[in-house]
Amino acid sequence: MSVLHLASAPVDLARARLNGLLRGVLQGEPLPEDWLAGTGGDLGLFGPGSAVWQVHGDPAMIVGGVRALMLQTLHPLAMAGVADHSDYRHNPLGRLHRTGAFIGMTTFGTTEVAARAIAQVRDIHLHVTGAAPDGRSYRAEDPELLRWVHVALVDSVLAAYRRYGARPLSAADADRYLEEYAVVALELGADHVPTTTADVRRYLRDVRPQLHAGRQAGRTMRFLLTPPLPLVLRPPYSLVAAAAVGLLPGWARRMLAVPTVPLVDRMAVRPAMTVFLRTAGWALGPPPVPVAA
């Protein structure tokens, strides 16, 4: 055995352990190889060179996902659906796994795999109905609620990528990303989905009067800030949560009562998060299918 191999063995072991830990938190089991875009020449919904592959293949998605969950709590009807039908309190990683698996399947899966994932979610939504604490009824298949959840996701993903992504993303490519991934929201049943950053800004401005951080949102936000994770995961998750809070719009932070200290965010959280995500990218390796440069 060469000296070089002996020297690299601890590094390889650390990388493998970190890889397993991150994948276990973010998605659970990776997609089977025969589910991936490229199988039988099927490039899935987007394919190489797409803005979706570039953005969703970056570890900044970790921060974007948590920011999206925080922002989504502000819609009382969407929040009621989560509170009534999700087991996130007893299985804190379950919802993250399901969300990560859905994004992975619709992004990097074959067309058939993406369609199957969308059909499964649509079927689940049929059974997610009830009444919010204010007495208003909700149903997860409501196109307006689907639009809210989608916009909260893509706005958060773009915010995280712009701050922490490894490669630049032009304004035109950001719009291209929104137009591309709108296909998934439309297939889920959303309507009038914003397809440009200007549309997203306008939608968030117009929907704001409907948003409110009620008791359910407060409980969920406290959970998102300090979930009952294994001890080894708590320090990195606390960093991710702080970075996600720092990316929330000021109006959302005020509603959720989670102010940030700009100097701490800029001087401590951002540099630490950048190092963490570069390390995560090293551990995770490239996306399951190659992203064109």
In a domain? residue 37: no
In a domain? residue 26: no
Domains held by the chain: number: 1
In a domain? residue 230: yes
Tell me the β-bridge partners of 130: 138
In this prediction, residue 20 carries a pLDDT of 53
Residues 6 or more apart in contact with residue 166 via CB below 8 angstroms: 58, 59, 60, 278, 281
**Tens digits of per-residue pLDDT, 138-150?**
999 999 999 999 9
In a domain? residue 28: no
- Reported in sequence order, the residue ranges of the chain that DSSP labels E, i.e. its strands, are 129-131, 137-139
* DSSP code, position 290: P
In a domain? residue 192: yes
How far from the centroid of its chain's Cα atoms is residue 155's Cα?
10
State the average pLDDT over residues 120-135: 96
State the average pLDDT over residues 199-219: 97
In a domain? residue 31: no
State the average pLDDT over residues 187-191: 98
In a domain? residue 25: no
In this prediction, residue 1 carries a pLDDT of 47
Buried b (16+ CB within 10 A) or exposed e, 51-83: bbbbbbbbbbbbbbbbbbbbbbbbbbbbbbbbb
In a domain? residue 2: no
Domain that holds residue 76: 46-283
Residue 7's pLDDT band (cuts 50, 70, 90): very low
Residue recorded with tokens 């992203």: 291
pLDDT of 204 > 50? The answer is yes
In this prediction, residue 101 carries a pLDDT of 87
- 178, 194 contact by CB (below 8 A): yes
In this prediction, residue 275 carries a pLDDT of 92
